[in-house]
């Protein structure tokens, strides 16, 4: 276990061996996930926004219709 101090601004330094193991570099993002009284840090390499525009589509998309279809489909699976 490695201990680090929290600065007056709430910052902590991720120890070098952990940064290397997780392949974290300057500018990378990490997520803090709280489960009960424990907090886990995990690297965030890609998000949905990073993927925006990578899936080819045929013509313009009606996102309102897509949202409504998704809501209807979820409701059917939940028995609503």
CA distance 76 to 54: 30
- Residue 73, both tokens: 């489909």
Query: Which pTM value belongs to this model?
Result: 0.54
Q: Which CATH class is domain 1-48?
A: mainly beta
Q: How far apart are alpha carbons 62 and 7 in whole angstroms?
A: 48
- Alpha-carbon span 35 to 25, nearest angstrom: 26
Q: Which residue has the tokens 């570099």?
A: 25
Going residue by residue through the chain (80 aa), what tens digit of pLDDT does each one get? Answer: 889 999 999 999 999 999 999 999 999 999 999 999 999 999 988 777 777 777 888 888 888 998 899 998 888 776 65
């Amino acid at each position: 276990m490695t201990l680090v101090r929290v600065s007056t601004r709430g910052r902590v330094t991720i120890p070098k061996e952990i940064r290397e193991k997780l392949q974290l570099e300057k500018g990378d993002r990490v997520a803090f996930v709280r489960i009960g009284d424990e907090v886990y840090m995990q690297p965030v390499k890609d998000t949905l926004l990073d993927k925006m525009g990578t899936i080819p589509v045929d013509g313009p998309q009606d996102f309102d219709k897509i949202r409504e279809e998704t809501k209807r489909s979820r409701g059917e699976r939940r028995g609503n």
